[in-house]
């Protein structure tokens, strides 16, 4: 929302922001309430602003503010909160007025000066867009998209009424982004489309807006920047959700790879690109790169006769129970990542397969030696400070997995589980 510059000749306006956090300004000055353990009066104020047109029923206010408080006198408490709100508004710097009017079972805001609320203006623009067409519709959608700067009232994100309103507003915003994106693509406004999707991706990083962001960068021929977006997104999904990027993201990677062309160089430039931090252990890579490595190594193995095995390493609670504490699981997976890196050989590769699993390529290892590799990893895991959980694994020949016709009839992966657990 554009910043308003106040001058003495202007009519005083109370400007209320609810997206990305609650704040108010009046006559160019910030309005702030004194710290208080009882924040009901602020919730009342917010509800009055959001229902400024027609007001909100007294019953709905009571249900919203006191539905979980058994044994209270809701009417008395509401009257007390209204009184407290009026007092706090004046103390915060607003002129002394009635502000809250309660009549015929309805409660509404009343002031001598206008109130502008970003969330209300946003919904108005969405409503007007629905009733408009052509350039007018796009104009309202553009305004609405600019107004939406983040989740509604994050300070009150645990309140049921805020959760419900947030879901509604998020849905409106995402529909606006989709329609605006289609319009901008057809109009060839790729830079504005990029801004649109980049903002959406920052607000909702797990809603796949990065796919459209990559498409925009490809249209702008910014291939290396598109690759950076892919890598950052793949890393985010692996680290935060424990899942590899989906097929749509992988298909974008293939398109990016087909377009990236390096400038004329020499072997010294190539050495610089290949240079990595000194590391004597296994090499970690993102899932799509891991899949490419599997395909290549399988072909090499077919020609050379070298054995290559895939190991799926699992992290669980005692007796194979799933770790349900997401924060604990994330911490333990990071510890396990370093244990794998230091336990396996430099020629081995590994990646995050799921939120509780790593996949490892063991090159030039016989099947009977896979258990030795796991035991080495398990021993280091038990000796690592802070490591908690049970490790188990399964192995299968990479060549036979990619070429099922080579598998022996009835062959299945060998599952192994350690009976010990780090506590």
3-state secondary structure 213-249: HHHHHHHCCCHHHHHHHHHHHHHHHHHHHCCCCCHHH
The tokens describing 374, both together, are 């796991």
pLDDT of the residue at 278: 56
Percentage of the chain exceeding pLDDT 70: 85
pLDDT digits (tens, 9 = 90+) for 38-85: 688 999 999 999 998 889 999 999 888 887 665 567 788 888 999 999
Cα gap 22→92, rounded to integer Å: 15
Residue 222, number of CB atoms within 10 A of its CB? 16
**pTM over 0.75, yes/no:** no
Question: What residue ranges define each of the domains in the chain, with the CATH number in brackets?
Answer: 11-171 (1.10.10.10), 188-257 (1.25.40.10), 280-404 (3.30.70.270)
Q: Could you tell me which residue, 299 or 188, shows the higher pLDDT?
A: 188
Contact at 8 Å (CB) between 308 and 370? no
Cα gap 385→339, rounded to integer Å: 11
Cα gap 312→358, rounded to integer Å: 6
Residue with tokens 């510059």: 5
Phi/psi for 341 (5° steps) reads: -55, -40
Mean pLDDT along residues 332-355 = 90
Contact at 8 Å (CB) between 397 and 413? no
pLDDT of the residue at 72: 65
pLDDT for 305 beyond 50: yes
Strands 283-284 and 349-354: parallel
Cα gap 77→85, rounded to integer Å: 12
Mean pLDDT along residues 201-210 = 95
pLDDT of the residue at 401: 78
Q: Could you tell me which residue, 294 or 374, shows the higher pLDDT?
A: 374
Q: In which band, very low, low, confident or very high, does the pLDDT at 135 lie, cut at 50, 70 and 90? A: very high
pLDDT for 258 beyond 90: no
Q: In which band, very low, low, confident or very high, does the pLDDT at 36 lie, cut at 50, 70 and 90? A: low
């Amino acid at each position: 929302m554009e910043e308003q510059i106040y001058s003495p000749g202007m009519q005083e306006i109370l400007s209320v922001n609810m997206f990305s956090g609650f704040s108010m300004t009046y006559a160019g000055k910030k309005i702030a309430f004194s710290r208080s353990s009882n924040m009901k009066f602020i919730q009342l104020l917010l509800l009055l602003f959001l229902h400024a047109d027609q007001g909100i029923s007294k019953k709905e206010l009571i249900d919203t503010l006191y539905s979980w408080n058994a044994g209270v006198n809701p009417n008395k408490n509401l009257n007390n909160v209204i009184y407290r709100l009026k007092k706090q508004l004046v103390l915060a710097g607003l002129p002394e007025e009635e502000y809250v009017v309660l009549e015929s079972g309805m409660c509404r805001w009343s002031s001598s000066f206008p109130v502008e609320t970003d969330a209300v203006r946003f919904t108005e623009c969405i409503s007007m867009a629905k009733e408009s067409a052509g350039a007018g519709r796009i104009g309202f959608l553009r305004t609405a998209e600019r107004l939406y700067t983040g989740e509604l009232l994050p300070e009150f994100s645990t309140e049921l009424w805020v959760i419900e309103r947030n879901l509604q507003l998020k849905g409106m915003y995402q529909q606006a982004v989709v329609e605006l994106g289609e319009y901008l693509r057809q109009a060839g406004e790729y830079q504005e489309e990029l801004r649109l999707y980049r903002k959406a991706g920052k607000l909702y990083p797990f809603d796949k807006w990065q796919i459209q962001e990559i498409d925009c960068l490809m249209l702008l021929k910014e291939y290396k920047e598109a690759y950076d977006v892919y890598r950052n997104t793949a890393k985010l999904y692996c680290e935060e959700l424990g899942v590899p990027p989906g097929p749509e993201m992988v298909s974008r990677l293939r398109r990016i790879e087909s377009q990236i062309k390096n400038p004329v160089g020499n072997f010294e430039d190539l050495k610089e690109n290949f240079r990595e931090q000194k590391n004597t252990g296994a090499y970690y890579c993102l899932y799509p790169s891991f899949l490419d490595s599997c395909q290549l190594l399988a072909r090499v193995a077919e020609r050379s006769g070298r054995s290559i095995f895939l190991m799926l390493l699992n992290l669980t609670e005692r007796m194979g129970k799933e770790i349900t504490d997401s924060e604990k699981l994330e911490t333990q997976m990071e510890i396990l990542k370093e244990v794998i890196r230091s336990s396996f050989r430099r020629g081995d590769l590994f990646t995050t397969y799921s939120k509780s699993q790593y996949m490892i390529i063991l090159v030039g290892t016989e099947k009977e030696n896979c258990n030795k590799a796991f035991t080495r990893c398990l021993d280091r895991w038990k000796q690592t400070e802070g490591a908690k959980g049970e490790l188990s694994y399964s192995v299968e020949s990479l060549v036979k997995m990619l070429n099922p016709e080579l598998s022996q009839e009835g062959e299945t992966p060998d599952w192994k589980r350690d009976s010990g657990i780090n506590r």
